[in-house]
Structure formats: C-alpha cells, structure tokens
A and B are shown apart, each in its own frame.
Chain A
Amino acid sequence: MIARADTHRRWRRIFLILGVIVGAYALLAPLTSLDIAQSAGVPLLADRLWFRIATFIAMFVVMATAWNIIGGITGYAAFGNVAFFGIGAYTTGMLISKARWPFLAALPVAPVMSTAFAAVVGLPLLRLRGHYFAVASLGVGVAVGELVQNVEYRGQPIFGGASGLFLPIYAVDNRGLFFFYLMVLAAAISIAVTWWVLRSRLGYGLIAIRENEEAAAVIGVNTTAYKVAAFALAAALTGLAGGIFSQWNVFINQDNTFPIEYNVQMILMALLGGTGTVFGPAAGAVLLQLLIQFLGGSLPISADIPFVSESARPIVAQVILGVLLVVVVIFVPRGVIDFFGGRTRLSLAYLRRSLRETSL
C-alpha cells in the first residue's frame, strides 16, 4: 500500500517536472525569434508556423477553460458558447474596421459585450436543466451566428454580411510573437480565474449547484445569481479569445467566428482533460488540438498511414480521429488529468473499471 502511494507520488512528480519543462520551453522558445536573440546567434526555436499553431492551441485553452466554469464546475453543459466567441470577435472587429479604434482599445470591449449578452440570455436559459439547457444554448449559438451575418439596415449588412469583415493587418513588430503572448496571457487569465473560482464562495456554491441544485437552494445559495455569474464569466473569457482572434486572423465572417464544431471541440477538450479541475481543460485543449493538427498534416512531423492512397489519406485521418474520440469517450471518461493527479494509473484494470461503471 505504502509502496504504491510512493510510486504514485513519484509519477506525479515526474509528470509535474515534465510539464514545467515543456511549458517553459513553449513560453520561452518564441523569444528566440526576436532580432536581439538572432543577432546573438541563438538558434531559432519557433518559426511562424509554430506561432500560428501555438496561438491556436492557446485560444482553445481559453475556450475550454472558460466552458469548464459553466459546464464542468456548475454542471450546466452549455452547447453554444461559440456565440460568445463570435460576439467578442465581431465587437472588436467592428470597432477596429468601422470605428477605427486602435486594437488595444477595442479588445477590452469584447468581453464586456459577451458578458452583457450572457447576462441577458442566461436569465431565461439557465432555468432549464440537462438536455434542455444544452439544446437551448445550441439554439442560441446558431441563431446569433445567423443574425450577425445577415442582419441589415437599409439594405446593407450591418456586420459586413457574407463578405465578412476585413481588418487592417496589425502594424507591430514580431506580429506572431505578439499575438502568441497575448493569447497565452488570455489563457493564463482563464486558468487563474478558474483557480480563484474554485477557492471562492462562488465556486463552492457552483459545485453545490452541480451536485444537487435543490439542496443548494435550501441551504441558501442564490442559485440564479451564481449560475448567471458562472455563465457570464465563461462568456467574458471566451469573448476575449474572440477579440484577439479577429485582429490576429485579419478576416472574420460567420463561418470562422461562429463555427458549430468549436462548441463540440471545447467540450471535448474539457472532458478529455478533466472537467471541474483547474488544469484539465488546458491539458485537454493542448492534446486534442495537437492531435487534430497532427492528423491534418500541419505539424512538422507527420506519419504515413500504410495501405492508404494519397488522395484517401485525409479522409482516413478523419476516420482515425473519430475512432480515437469514440475510444477515449468510452474508456477514459474522467479525463487524462486523472493520471496526472497521481491517484490512478493507466492500466488495463482502470480501463475495465471505467467501462463497467458506465456500461449498461
């Protein structure tokens, strides 16, 4: 017994050290692209492709962590959070392209708008439970995207319509570096907020709501206020990511700011990593996004799938993604953070146990 606890602790320490090393590398490597470093002869460890992918990963960390607040901690599985992303993106986008605000002034408005929307929509929506809430939030997510793209005033689309919005390319040195660190900052804020929530009264209230909402109300938790607060927090963080995205991507339209797949992806990442935890969604986001990029061939390393022709390769890659998803959902329902927590080990017994727990 003691020996096993020791092993667990040792594994946990190893994973922690590995995580810190990888994290430090990820955060510091981009600095090698600065001119100062280059002229000092430091090898270039991060190029533009690296920046693009890394910024995407950071963006998903924000979204997954934000979703976790309403979905994981509070237990209200929102299925339409991409609406906040899109609202944030269009807020910043409109301010920059139509009102000519500078980017750093337009960015803070994004989370404000998303939060306002969440507060308005959340009040009626959060009275629903379970499936109904999930579907209603999906409906809101789809409807908002459609409205933003199509609403017109005097025959002209207000938000750029189907042509989308073009933003001027942001004039800053080391653009890739800048946006990467900005997105990482947003990710850090999200994780910090989650950490704070879990240790605060709000967090206890939310967990109480998740475990048994009626009981929580009985012991005096203002469930409506707490739920809306969680929803608004999730919206704010997601909206921030959207705001950064709009300037970083230079072009926004309904398809790239309200994509329905993002809803599924952010939930999947939180689940994969472990809902209700601080670092779980982040871990899940990194893993899943790396996997998607790997299968899509955008990473510098790629694998060849044997027996598959060139033209069929991308299709087979999608099938593999689907199979992986199915396997993970069935066998690892508590998320991989379970292993890093040190209490469980990835073993056949664990897999069999989780299967038995959830099977009919």
Chain B
Amino acid sequence: MVDFVQLVILGLLAGGVYVAVGVGFGLVWGVLNIVNLAHGALVVVGGYLTWQLFTTLHLDPFLTLPVDAVALFVFGYALQRGVINRIIRAPLLFTFLLTFGLNLIVVNLLLLIFGSDFRSVTPSYSGQGFEFGSIVIPYVPLISLGVAIALSASLAFVLNRTRTGLAINAIASDRDAAQLVGIDLRHAYAVTYGLGAACAGVAGGLIALIQAITPTAGEPYTLQAFVVVILGGLGRVSATVVGGLAFGLVEAFGQSIPGSGSVFANAIAFGLMVLVLVTRPQGLMGRLR
C-alpha cells in the first residue's frame, strides 16, 4: 500500500515536468497548427540558461525561471516572426520539416557553445523532502509540480481573460476571419509561438534541476510532448495538464509490469496515444478541432 501511494506521488511529481513541456507544445499545435519539432531544443536552451545563471550568479534556480520565460519568449517571437511565418500557408508537412531544421541548428549551436559535457543544477536543498513515515515527497519535484501548475494556470489566464488571449483564440478558430476583424496575424502568431517557447524555457529550467542536461537531451521531450498533448487533448490547457500527469503515472506504474517492466514504457505510451487517436481523437478532455 505504501509503495502504491509512493508510486502515485512519484508519478504525479514527474508529471509536473511533462505538463510544463506539454503546454507550450500544445499551445503552438492547437492554435497555430504547427507541430514544433524544435520544442525539445527550446527546452534545453532554457535549461542551459538556468544552469548558467545558477553557476555564475548563484541565483536560486527557481528564481531563474522567469528569466528563462522572458528570454525564450523573445527568442520564440523572433523565430516565428522572422522564419516560421514564411511557411504558414504551406501544407502542414512543411512546418514539420522547417522545425526539424531549426532543431538541428539550435542543438548544434548549443553544442558549439557549451560542449557536450553534462550539466546539472543541484541547489543545497535538493534531495530533501517531506517525510510521512516511509513516504517521501521530495522538495524539488514538488516545487516543480507547483511551478508547472502555476505556469498552466497563467497560460490559461492569458488565453481566456486578456485581449491578447482573445486574439489568439480568434486565430485558432478562423484565421482569415480574425484577420478581417483587424487582428494583426503576424504579431498574434509570433506572440503565440513566443508563449509556447516561454513555457518550454520554464520546463527546461525545471529539467535542469532533475537531470543532467546536454545539448541532445531535448529530443525525448519532444516525443513525450506528442504523447502528453494527444492523451490530454488539443484545445485546452487543462487538458494538457491532465495528459501530463497521466503520462507521469503511466511511466511510474509501467515499471511494475512483471518481466521487463519499464522497457516497454515508450511502446505503451505511444500505443496508448495511437489508441486514443483512433478511438477518441479529442483526448481525455480536449475539444475536437
């Protein structure tokens, strides 16, 4: 029983990271119809930013997260406005390939700047946690989960209650109609992508705390973002939150399958994703687009 509870806790805590990775990816996909294969690279950039600030300025890593968000927002805005906007009206496949190329560029630039060494952020309180008998709730993943939920909440707030958010919703529903009512499409698209990148940056900061990062560490997160977003469903931030937490739980309990256990984690996750797509494309909670 104790183990079961601990596994649930571990799953939810791990899910926090997946939520953070997923919301940005889902926003860009759901609103802009762009499958951002460079998402993982943006996450790693955030991670390196946090690591750099932690190492040179000794800032607490959680304090660097807003810096990550702002920096990645600017970067994402520029990227969308300057590059990705050029193929919006092309068939969807082109965005796949463009973002794949961008991924290649960003990862290798990181490799040139930071080298291939593994970097990790280990603040003084890492490893400690709340203890209830033999059940442990470590601090860092707990705060990360909190950050991820807060991030999703702020994103949802921006999307539902601000003018910018309304504009974004408008272009999600009908791009050309939105233009007709006077929304500057180029700016709105860039803001959306910037928001997605900002979320990726924050996720990266969280990941730097949890594992050692290297320039190629982002690739698995892009794949996981797929699963999270599909599981939860495109269209609502809360859906992605559910997807991320669900994914964390699947991963935690996957290892208890007798025999090889979590070796099949990927197979299960992707199999589930395919199943969801085929039977219930709107995911566990999303709206059908």
Contacts and interface: CB of A to CB of B under 8 A. Distances in A.
Interface of A: 71, 77, 79, 124-125, 127-128, 130-132, 134-136, 138-140, 142-143, 146-147, 150, 152, 264, 267-268, 271, 312, 315-316, 318-319, 321-326, 329-330, 333, 355, 357-360
B263 interface: yes
Nearest to A129: B281
Contact of A360 (B185, B223, B270, B271): B185
The 8 closest A-B pairs by CB, nearest first: A322-B104, A325-B101, A322-B105, A146-B267, A358-B90, A139-B270, A326-B101, A143-B270
Contacts of B85: 359-360
B211 interface: no
A326 B98 contact: yes
Contacts of A131: 29, 33, 35, 92
Contact of A321 (B35, B104, B259, B278): B104
A325 to B, nearest CB: 3
B109 interface: yes
A326 B267 contact: no
| Range for the number of chain B residues in contact with chain A | 35 or more
Nearest to A148: B267
B90 A124 contact: no
Contact of B277 (A79, A132, A152, A321): A132
Contact of B260 (A150, A264, A326, A333): A150
B278 A271 contact: no
Interface string B75-93: 0000000010111111011
Interface string B89-112: 110111011101111110111011
Nearest to A125: B278
Contacts of B185: 360
Contacts of B96: 77, 79, 134, 264, 267
A329 B102 CA distance: 11
Contacts of A319: 104-105, 108-109, 112
Given A131-B35, A325-B100, A333-B94, A150 B277 contact: no
Interface string B1-36: 000000000000000000000000000010001010
| Residue with the highest number of chain A CB atoms closer than 10 Å, among B29, B100, B274 | B274
B230 interface: yes
A140 B89 contact: no
A138 B266 contact: no
A136 B93 contact: no
B266 A142 contact: yes
Given A138-B226, A271-B94, A322 B278 contact: no
A140 B278 CA distance: 12
Contacts of A142: 223, 266-267, 270
B157 interface: no
Contacts of A360: 85-86, 88-89, 185-186, 189
A139 B259 contact: no
B264 interface: yes
Given A139-B227, A139-B274, 5 more contacts: A134-B96, A135-B277, A150-B264, A315-B108, A360-B88
